[in-house]
Amino acid sequence: MTQFREILRLNSLGINNTDISKSLKCSRTTVRSVLKRASELDIKWPLPSDVTDTDLYKKFFQKSAAEKFKREPDVEHIYKELLKDGVSLKLLWNEYCEDCRVRNELPLMYSQFCEIYRKHAEVKRATMHILRKPGELIEVDWAGSTAKLVDRDTGEITSVYVFVAVLPFSQYAYVEAFPNMKQESWIAAHINMYNYVGGVSKILVPDNLKTGVIKADWRDPQLNRTYREMSEHYNTAIIPARVKKPKDKASVESTVGNISTWIIATLRNEKFFTLSELNKSIREKLNNFNSRPFQKREGSRISIFLGEEKSMLLPLPATPFELATWKQATVQINYHIQVEKMHYSVPHEYIKYVVDVRITKNVIEVFYNNHRLCSHPRLYGRPGQYSTMEEHMPEDHRKYLKWNSERFIAWAEKVGPSTTITIKSILNSYRIEEQGYKSCMGLLKLADKHSVGRLEAACSRALYYTPHPSYKSVKSILTSGQDKLTNEIRKHDEQDPATLGFTRGADYYGGKKYDE
């Protein structure tokens, strides 16, 4: 409070306003205002010994006659309205002024309006420390205390970690134990928590743990990618608490202590062999905890949650969030990436690119620079399986994909009988028919390069050597030109014997005749 008496005393000693302000550590404006008001009220030093600074304050700043007839605002109404989304003191003051004009009453100034509510809020805060709006946020954290599991066979004791979530308005809590604090447990805890409360808050306040926040920064925190996806799925905003600022999530910090006492500590003498058994007991204790009446306010956590807060929560999405993991992969020369020993195709334009892969239980999604390239059903079973989409293949590979044995044979029949026999022989030489497609395609390319006639001759020549010719033998015949020799022999055989000239027999050369 301003030291009114000391200002008047120092002024009576002839000390200027600047020195008075320095001595009392107040502004010169304050000194001038006090001296001016004292002059108006004809108050001079020395003062009676029983007059205090509080008495002077009442005399200096007593309400004027006009102010006495100004209508006081309804502070309880202001308190309830401020709990609603988007409502501010400025808006409520404008509505209060409008209401005063309708009633032909004088309104208070905005500063007076705020001062009256501030005093009321201080009294309210002394008995009920609730400053959050219903359904506005949920605070989450891991409890410092751990629970225990006992191995049924060895008796070994294993620590398990306890997840705690609190809605600050109602103090309604959720608790669940997990085997570790890894990302799978962290995401599963949030999914179960949202299902338990039956809705979603506008804001989610976690600590700066690595499974949620990669880089802690109050202005621009870098969230874990999976955690951010979860927030988008539930349409909530993640605002991490500041580092070493527990007051940013004071409700969950306070509840963690209560949970350690009323849930974890009460189960310390019980033995649990499985996580499900432990969580079943935790749920029973949690229901009792949420139903316990408050000491300094009416109702309980669950009664306030159901009565005032649950209706303010956002609705749950149609399906729960599906946990996804991310990894990077390089698109191989065969336009496939390898994920968990399985192969998935990517558009061939991205060969040699490094892409991001989102892996869920049922789907594999591929992204490049946050642009979704494709998705595949996730493969299970024998390692090395391929999932290939035709639209991902280059044009010449698509043509190859359309070939089958019937089409190869039909094409060979148009070339000639030797080519047909060769194609059938190649297809039958493999245990799996598709393995012979490359050789058949090779013969097709030879026809384009050397002509259909030469290919038929080469196949005929190859069949002369072996009943099971191969692509390499036909290609070798064409390269060496042996198919042309085959054509010359065929022409010679097709000529009339009469035109071939005289042929001498054995008698001509004096062969001996033996009598029998």
Walk along the chain (516 residues) and give the pLDDT tens digit of each residue. 577 778 888 888 888 888 888 888 888 888 888 888 888 878 888 877 777 777 777 777 665 444 455 778 888 888 888 877 678 888 899 999 998 888 888 888 898 888 888 888 776 655 444 456 888 889 888 887 888 898 888 888 889 999 999 998 888 999 999 999 888 899 999 999 999 999 999 988 887 776 667 665 655 667 778 888 898 999 998 888 766 555 555 666 667 777 877 788 888 888 899 999 999 999 999 999 999 998 877 889 999 999 989 999 999 999 888 888 889 999 998 899 999 899 999 999 999 999 999 998 889 999 999 899 999 999 888 888 889 888 898 887 776 666 778 888 988 999 999 999 999 999 888 877 777 888 888 888 888 888 888 999 999 989 988 888 989 999 999 988 887 775 555 554 444 544 444 444 555 455 555 444
d(CA 336, CA 350): 10
CATH fold group of domain 137-312: Nucleotidyltransferase; domain 5 (3.30.420)
Could you list the beta-strand ranges (E) of 212-346.
213-215, 222-223, 237-238, 325-330, 336-339, 342-345
3-state DSSP call for residue 198?
A: coil
Extract the tokens encoding 389. Answer: 């989409």
Q: What is the pLDDT of residue 47?
A: 79
Q: CA 303, 306, 310 angle in degrees (round to 5)?
A: 145
C-alpha of 439 from chain center:
48
Q: What is the pLDDT of residue 20?
A: 85
Residue 385 near residue 379 (C-beta atoms within 8 A): yes
Q: What is the pLDDT of residue 361?
A: 82
Q: Does residue 357 come out as left (phi exceeding 0), alpha (psi in the -120 to 50 range) or beta?
A: beta
- Residue 392 C-beta-side C-alpha neighbours within 13 Å: 21
Q: What is the pLDDT of residue 516?
A: 43
Handedness of CA 461, 466, 467, 472 (dihedral sign): negative
Q: What is the pLDDT of residue 66?
A: 45
- Termini Cα distance of the chain: 160
Please give the model's pTM, rounded to 2 decimal places: 0.51
Q: CA 406, 412, 413 angle in degrees (round to 5)?
A: 90
Q: What is the pLDDT of residue 62?
A: 62
Give 232's contacts (C-beta < 8 A, 6+ positions apart): none
Give Cα separations from 310 to 18, 197, 314 (angstroms).
Answer: 58, 8, 9
Handedness of CA 327, 333, 336, 342 (dihedral sign): negative
Q: What is the pLDDT of residue 235?
A: 92
Ranges of CATH 3.30.420.10 domains, the chain = 137-312
Handedness of CA 189, 195, 197, 200 (dihedral sign): positive
Q: What is the pLDDT of residue 125?
A: 59
Give the strand pairing for 157-167 and 172-178: antiparallel
Longest dimension (CA), the chain: 180
Task: Report DSSP state, residue 365.
Answer: E
d(CA 449, CA 455): 9
d(CA 80, CA 84): 7
- Residue tagged 């969950």 (tokens): 252
Give the closest residue to 40 by CA, choosing from 17, 24, 64.
64
R_g over Cα of the chain: 46
